[in-house]
Structure 1
Amino acid sequence: MPARIAFEFETPRGERRTTSLAYERRGRGEPLLLLHGIGHHWQAWEPVLDILATERDVVAVDLPGFGASDGLPQDCAYDLATVVPVLTAFCAAVGIDRPHVAGNSLGGLLALQLGSEKAVRSVTALSPAGFWSESERRYAFGTLRAMRGAALSLPVPLIDRLSRTPAGRTVLTSTIYARPGRRSPEAVAAETLALREATGFHQTLAAGRAVLFRNDIPSLPVTVAWGTRDRLLLRRQGARAKRVLPDARLVRLPGCGHVPMNDDPALVARVLLDGSATG
């Protein structure tokens, strides 16, 4: 079972609030914070956790309003100005000082923002949000809403049955995985339930409507990696990320989808270890 910790954080208005986040911690070495995407949970990193833990003190956290973590207090927005201080306070609460950080999708955007605020040692962003055109953003958000609607409409016994066949796992997860058949039935069922139960889903989408990441991070090692079969955030957005972050290392992930950790664990783990080695 993951651990849980309650802590205080400061809102953009300078007020103190309390929340509680769930997280998994493994390994020894320099700290590496892992941030998942919208509608997912820390278990998205499970395919690479044990590999990373051989060289890093790995902390995979459920973001506020996702997985087993609490949602934010009602007067708090799910925007970068709020969630980044939550993550900084979380790191202090679990005793890690300026960790390396890696994130996927929403988590990649958060990782880059942490880097721009010099709160971390290095940044590795896998298909990060925030480098889209307006039409690409609308497409991605529409797809995410459709995925959420499908997860809400399917009875739990049907989700369980679908997850137990390769065809069913394709139906449930082919938008985010290039190789959905490789994901275990238990993992597919659990992440489908995590999507339907994510209390922060709609608020996070609402906060993301106006997001474009435009900050260079010249003083930190930054890696941006994109799957060649990403169907949610199209890989051409990686070229835009390189223009915004000219010193970043841009890595191609052949045959990988939007959530690449399950499609090619060895490759993604190598990218994460390399990205956090130079900090």
Structure 2
Amino acid sequence: MSAPSTPVSQTVPAAFSGGPRSVTFPVVSPRGPLPVTLAYTRVGSGEPLLLLHGIGHHRQAWDPVIDILAVERDVIAVDLPGFGESPALADGLAHDLPTMNAALGALCQALEIERPHVAGNSLGGLLALELGRAQLVRSVTALSPAGFWSPVERRYAFGVLQAMRQTALRMPLPVVERLSRTAAGRTVLTSTIYARPGRRSPEAVVAETLALAQATGFTETLRAGASVQFTDDVPGLPVTVAWGTRDRLLVRRQGVRAKSVIPLSRLVRLPGCGHVPMSDDPALVARVILDTSR
């Protein structure tokens, strides 16, 4: 779970704060330390806040809220391994929860961040709770986190995700671009995860469709999630679990289960929001995250 505090390398392609960056650092494996490279964006000032996206998405999922958060927080939005601009893990490292915990802990050491606040959505929410359980963070905000499903609900969610992935792989880019230009087309492409898909810009819809199609870590991450069930409390730190009332992927009754597993957590309803609520109601989501991290 531990890693040296000095990264192998860091690159900053853009000269301004908030530009895309990447960092490479070692993570312990059965074959010895192996390098992991993660892309990230870092903006703002204040206590550190780590943002983790869901499966098949990328760090730009947080764009609707990142400027609001950056007023009060040093915000680090990360592309998880095998998603966005982060390459898949090397052979010898599995896309499972222990490895993700180790990689994210090593990332914080590499960036010299001590126990950040963390907010995550879907897979990212599950990872945020795992970091909280390991006491590696100061607070946790989990938006529709994975891991509180029944077997039937998990099979349904995985089936939907696989169908979305196949659609993204098979749909020609000109068709995606044409659909993205209208609110109706954006609804066709993204209504599974957004309650208000018309609010997404055409450019964002095209980018996230490509991110889903090009996600090299998708299959291994989904396979690793087949046996995941979050059953442990997260004691000793503030935890908020928030669920959109119009979540069509992980239905909101899973939030009640999360509250029973983590009894001291705050369960928040996000009216009119879908599975990825940052775009549906940026002001509300930012307020929930900041309230938790205060």
How high is the TM-score relative to the length of structure 2?
0.93
Structure 2 partner of 1:9: 27
Equivalent of 2:232 in 215, 225, 234 = 215
Equivalent of 2:160 in 143, 154, 179 = 143
Amino acid aligned to 1:17:
L
Q: Over aligned residue pairs, what C-alpha RMSD do you find?
A: 0.8
Structure 1 partner of 2:4: none
Q: Which runs of 5+ in 2 are unaligned?
A: 1-18
Structure 1 partner of 2:9: none
Q: How many residues align?
A: 276
Structure 1 partner of 2:134: 117
Equivalent of 1:263 in 256, 280, 290 = 280
Task: Give the 3-state SS of the residue equivalent to 1:21 in structure 2.
Answer: strand
Q: Which runs of 5+ in 1 are unaligned?
A: none
C-alpha deviation, 1:75, in angstroms:
2.0
Report Cα offsets for 1:59-91 as digits up to 9, x if no partner. Answer: 000000000001101222110011110011011
C-alpha deviation, 1:27, in angstroms:
0.2
Amino acid aligned to 1:172:
L
Structure 2 partner of 1:44: 61
Amino acid aligned to 2:85:
A
Task: Give the 3-state SS of the residue equivalent to 2:227 in structure 1.
Answer: coil
Structure 1 partner of 2:14: none
Does residue 132 of the first structure (1) align with residue 149 of the second (2)?
Answer: yes
C-alpha deviation, 1:94, in angstroms:
1.3
Equivalent of 1:173 in 176, 190, 203 = 190
Does residue 106 of the first structure (1) align with residue 126 of the second (2)?
Answer: no
Tell me the distance in 2 between the aligned counterparts of 1:243 and 1:55: 31
Report Cα offsets for 1:140-172 as digits up to 9, x if no partner. Answer: 000000000000010011111111111110011
Equivalent of 2:113 in 96, 100, 105 = 96
The runs of 4+ residues in structure 1 deviating greater than 6 Å are none
Amino acid aligned to 2:176:
I
Tell me the distance in 2 between the aligned counterparts of 1:221 and 1:215: 15
Structure 1 partner of 2:6: none
Does residue 197 of the first structure (1) align with residue 197 of the second (2)?
Answer: no
Task: Give the 3-state SS of the residue equivalent to 2:24 in structure 1.
Answer: strand
Does residue 32 of the first structure (1) align with residue 43 of the second (2)?
Answer: no
Amino acid aligned to 2:126:
L
Equivalent of 2:289 in 261, 267, 272 = 272
Equivalent of 1:160 in 166, 171, 177 = 177
Tell me the distance in 2 between the aligned counterparts of 1:95 and 1:161: 43
Tell me the distance in 2 between the aligned counterparts of 1:28 and 1:9: 28
Structure 2 partner of 1:57: 74
Task: Give the 3-state SS of the residue equivalent to 2:22 in structure 1.
Answer: strand
Structure 2 contact 31–92 (Cα < 8 Å) conserved: no
Tell me the distance in 2 between the aligned counterparts of 1:95 and 1:75: 26
Amino acid aligned to 2:168:
A
